[in-house]
Structure 1
Amino acid sequence: MERTPWWHDAVVYEIYVRSFADASGDGVGDLPGVRSRLPYLAELGVDAIWLTPFYPSPMADGGYDVADYRDVDPLFGSLADFDALVADAHALGLRLMVDIVPNHSSSAHPWFRKALEAPRGSHERDRYMFRDPAPSDGGSAGREPNNWVSVFGGPAWTKTPDGQWYLHLFAPEQPDFNWRDPEVRREFVDILRFWLDRGVDGFRIDVAMGLIKAEGLPDTEPGFGAKSPIWSQPEVHDIYREWRRVLDEYPGVRAAVGEVWTDSPEDLALYVRHDELHQSFNFAWLEAPWSATAFRKVIDETLTAVPAPTWVLSNHDVVRHPTRYGEGSLDPAAGLARGCAAFLAMLALPGSAYLYQGEELGLSEVKDLPPESRQDPIFARSKGELLGRDGCRVPIPWSGAAPPYGFGPGGSWLPQPADWAGLTAERQAADPSSTLSFYRRALATRRSLRGTLPDTMAWLEAPGDALFFTRGKLICVINCGEEPVRLPPHDQVVISSGPCDGTDLPPDTAAWLLTE
């Protein structure tokens, strides 16, 4: 019997499938490619993997526009490839989670195509958010139903040929479902069961706070708070209570983690009550600047409000954290040093940690992608004013001295930098001083301490812009300042993210210390 559920303190590795490994040679990552690299992930020392969407899709938003929730897009392989991937992952001791996209479908989904063909007021349209236009200032109908804007920029409404409008909080190719329709709820319960029956260990839920919209769809102001008519409506929790009952029916422990953007940890905590989701992403940690004060505030607020915390520094939607931490620094290497220090501190905290592919290689954001190669709808909808998320999605380098660096037998769907030869997994695996080797040591050290540390922590007094905290016999120290700081009393330095003489901790460095 497991001491605690596997997700409680798991390290989960996010795989952006399109950019991980390409077995077919078409320049796009796929499920057989992922399968071929499972031994690498097992050796890295993670407990689980999370796959971004691989379902049939027109790819208007990298697969987050799903046309069929019960199949694999030929671009990524087949259901047989998926089944083989699950089997191999489990054989290596890796859990496997898949992305579920319940807020919206693709405009190519059969339901939406039928909705466009159906008349106003039909059941086919009730599955989505179709609305009549609002009166214009002149008194005649014609305007969008309200002032909501798309997360990707521009209005959140598109007009249909018969004069109605449909809601899309993201791209026009991603119409929002109407989660007040019972058929939508039944459909997604069936989708969950389809993948649970194939052996998945859980789900990452996209836009988990957005499924229910306020009655009447009133105008809104920016923000994710409880007052928004778009996000975190009370009825959304009924959906996750139903999903939790489904997950609990299956043998073993099947888990769900929500992508929940909120304005407060208290609101975040509502999603992880005992009968709802198991976890919810803690984006406050990701958004915190390089500052001991900021880190401590996030840690205190999170551990006070959330019973099963998660910690994450990067994902497929944000600028990679070494780049974020390095902005404004005079030292070009500072971003990576800080990234490694934040990673080590994150692993020491109670709860689970989520990693994003390539961070173990020290990859930074690719900012100079040519405009013609960019595929993120944010770039197109902003007419190039916003670069979008392609810079963190560049296929990762595996081997060799030139692109595509072993990504696959062909090229890569986004161009890789010409100076990544020194960052390949092959090169770094042979270098004990590399970022990859550090990640492997850190994850192995964390695993060796699993079960010996309490789920609580306590602060120690720390000088300057540093943090010192304890979890039982473990002391974690991180120096966000510009000067070395004296280490607290200890018996052993177990691991550090940079040089550490056992007496002082240099700037931009973290370390784990043990006391007898």
Structure 2
Amino acid sequence: MEGNNPQTTRVPAAKSDRWWERAVIYQIYPRSFQDSNADGVGDLEGIRRRLDYIASLGVDAIWLSPIYPSPMADFGYDVADHCDVDPMFGSLASFDKLLDDVHAHGLKLLLDFVPNHTSDQHPWFHESRSSRSNPKRDWYIWRDPAPDGGPPNNWTSDMGGSAWEWDAATGQYYLHAFLREQPDLNWRNPDVRQAMLDVLHFWLDRGVDGFRIDVLWHCYKAAELPDNPPNPDYRPELGEKHKVLQHYSADQPEIHELAAAFRTMADSYGERLLVGEVCLPLPRLMAYYGSEAAPGVHLPFNFALLDCPWNPRALAEIITTYEAALPPAGWPNWVIGSHDAPRIAARIGEAQARVAMMLLLTLRGTPTLYQGDELGIGKVPIPAHRVRDPQDLRQPGLGLGRDRSRTPMPWNSAPFAGFSSTEPWLPLNPDWGSRNVSAQAADPGSMLALTRKLLHFRRLSDALTRGAFSLLHADEAVLAYERTFADERLVVVLNLSALPRPHPVRGVALVSTRGLPADPVTLRPHEGVILLPED
């Protein structure tokens, strides 16, 4: 892919200038952002106290991982009450106070919505498992044993082992795509559908600006629950969930009608945003945008940058293939980190993490920035006795643990990094004494300073927020692309190598990952620049 054959994408029409298309979303993992009551766990009041910092970054919306009442078997993704707040995080009153202050700061607030499953401590499941004749029995997926007495089929849990759990009291198995403490809801039951739509109404009426929908593609299963085909490429180090291909346990045709129903509800409240977690190959991912007649979620999450090979040609292929696959009304989105993925700085090093930040914030579409990535937090060792993630505890030694991405936010060099006045629930990054918000805010060459500069520059640029994308150059070391809108033209050039490289495009550097002045002829090692190109 060289500069003589660039690929250009369409410029969004003026009518599609919705807030979330120009926005940057900032993901907060509430347990690990700020503790306000000295229990070692973050909470809503802690987030509220840090809103000045969030607003100062230059982001536009906050997405909170689950805050609902939960036994915390999977740290909030096992919901016991969809319409309340866990006392660990606060109360509905403290949520309302946070929401008001978020809006007062000119920001939007998105909640995590978990529709595929509940906690086994949810009142619905207590009723469902109480007897086969209970009216809520069919709210979950129950089946008799196979002829040999084992599970009804060969489906595997994403957390390892069978996706079926035996219930001796009623003599049937129930389905759980994740932990046994997370039984799957039966979305084929109209009462389940109405109850969960009522949950969305509850929070939308309260004033939230949208939702990130957890594991959306899992909600429907094939009606007859046939065996999944074995995975011919399975390797044990991938984890047990990959033993079979999820042909029948996820991504069923009915899910698109449900996504359209979610979208209809959200749109009825005005410009509310739905972000769908969908971990599927590109053609199947694109189906979650829906159609003109039945729109799906606004943004099916694009995880392509989370584990891609970090080289220019691979990135160019990923970007252009994704852009070409978008439906006519589809708006792109990008992420480089999340509460489930390894830290970007841990994967490619701090110097390239700066380049990755420039990539994230200059590609066409809506970026999501994960807390702590603006500091360049890297590898965080988690001693065996401090491991909390059930995915790691159930499949030790495979490197599947997510604790490494959920460690507390380091605010300053005070004890416990200003996160708490007591030992946090997970270890801090080992360099927290110097890698913290306070230290980086005082350093104009820091990762935090670069992130703020990029976000500020992006906010002022129609080319970056709304413009077209053209690939200009991709070789073994350098990636270059152009962003244009009306008369504004910018070029982004990224050196993904540790050696100096000649500039493929000449111009005046406006922002550099290594600080200005930048050389107009040679890119420094690990340097990304935004250029005003020469005519």
* TM-score, normalising length: structure 2: 0.89
Deviations 1:358-403 (A, max 9, x none): 001110131x21222211111221255545111111101001244x
Equivalent residue number for residue 448 of structure 2: 436
Partners of 1:224 and 1:231 within 8 A in 2: no
CA deviation digits over 1:288-337, x for unaligned, max 9? 12111111111011111122111101100011111112xxxxxxxxx111
By how many angstroms is 1:123 displaced? 3.4
| AA partner of residue 258 (structure 1) | G
In the TM superposition, 1:375-390 aligns within 5 A as 375-383=388-396, 385-386=398-399, 388-390=401-403
Distance 1:311 1:179 in 2: 29
Residue of structure 1 equivalent to 2:345 = 322
CA distance 1:147–1:201, change in 2 (3 Å) = same
Q: Distance in 2 between matches of 1:258 and 1:225?
A: 24
Aligned to 1:409: 421
Deviation of residue 484 (structure 1)? 2.3
Alignment deviations for residues 446-504 of structure 1 (CA, whole Å, 9 cap, x no partner): 11103676532112235542111111211011122343222244432011112532221
Q: Which residue of 2 aligns with 1:373?
A: 386
- Is contact 1:463-1:485 (8 Å) kept? no
1:498 aligns with 2:514: yes
Distance 1:225 1:86 in 2: 43
In structure 1, what is the Cα distance between the partners aligned to 2:251 and 2:309? 26
The structure-2 alpha-carbon separation of the partners of 1:224 and 1:455, relative to structure 1 and needing over 3 Å to count, comes to: farther
One-letter code aligned to 2:458: R
Aligned residues: 497
The CA deviation at 1:184 is: 1.0
Secondary structure of 1:134's aligned partner: coil
User: The residue matched to 1:284 in structure 2 has which SS?
Assistant: coil
Task: Please say if 1:270 is aligned against 2:287.
Answer: yes
Q: Which residue of 1 aligns with 2:234?
A: none
* d(CA) in 2 for partners of 1:44, 1:361: 12
Q: More displaced, 236-245 or 371-380?
A: 371-380
Measure, in 2, the Cα distance between the counterparts of 1:501 and 1:152. 50
Q: Distance in 2 between matches of 1:10 and 1:200?
A: 16
Q: 1:397 aligns with which of 396, 410, 420?
A: 410
Name the aligned partner's letter for residue 84 of structure 1.
Answer: K
1:192 is matched with 200
Partner SS for 2:530: strand
Q: Taking CA–CA contacts closer than 8 Å with sequence separation of 6 or more, which of the two structures ends up with the larger relative contact order? A: 2
Establish whether residue 293 from structure 1 lines up as the match of residue 313 from structure 2: yes
Aligned partner letter, 1:230: S
Instruction: Give the structure-1-normalised TM-score.
Output: 0.92
1:354 aligned onto 2:354: no
For 1:79, give the aligned amino acid.
L
Query: Distance between the aligned counterparts of 1:507 and 1:445, measured in 2?
Result: 23
Q: 1:227 to 1:171 in 2, by over 3 A?
A: closer
Q: Counterparts of 1:498 and 1:406 in 2: how far apart (Å)?
A: 28
- How much does 1:445 deviate? 0.7
Structure 1 residues 193, 225: closer, same or farther in 2, change over 3 A?
farther
Which residue in the other structure is 2:238 paired with? none
- Displacement after TM superposition at 1:437 (Å): 0.7
**Residue 243 of structure 1 aligns to a residue in which SS?**
helix
463 and 193 in structure 1: CA distance in 2 versus 1, 3 angstrom threshold: same
Report the secondary structure of 2:355's partner residue.
helix
- Secondary structure, aligned partner of 1:283: coil
Change (3 A) 1:418 1:320: closer
AA of the residue aligned to 2:215 = V
- 2:227 is aligned to 219
- Which residue is equivalent to 1:329? none
Q: What percent of counterpart residues are identical?
A: 44
| Letter of the structure 2 residue corresponding to residue 430 of structure 1 | A
Q: Which of the numbers 20, 31, 41 marks the counterpart of 2:54?
A: 41
Alpha-carbon deviation of 1:409?
Answer: 2.6
1:20 aligns with 2:33: yes
Alpha-carbon distance between aligned partners in 2 of 1:237 and 1:257, rounded to the nearest angstrom: 14
Cα RMSD, aligned residues only: 2.0
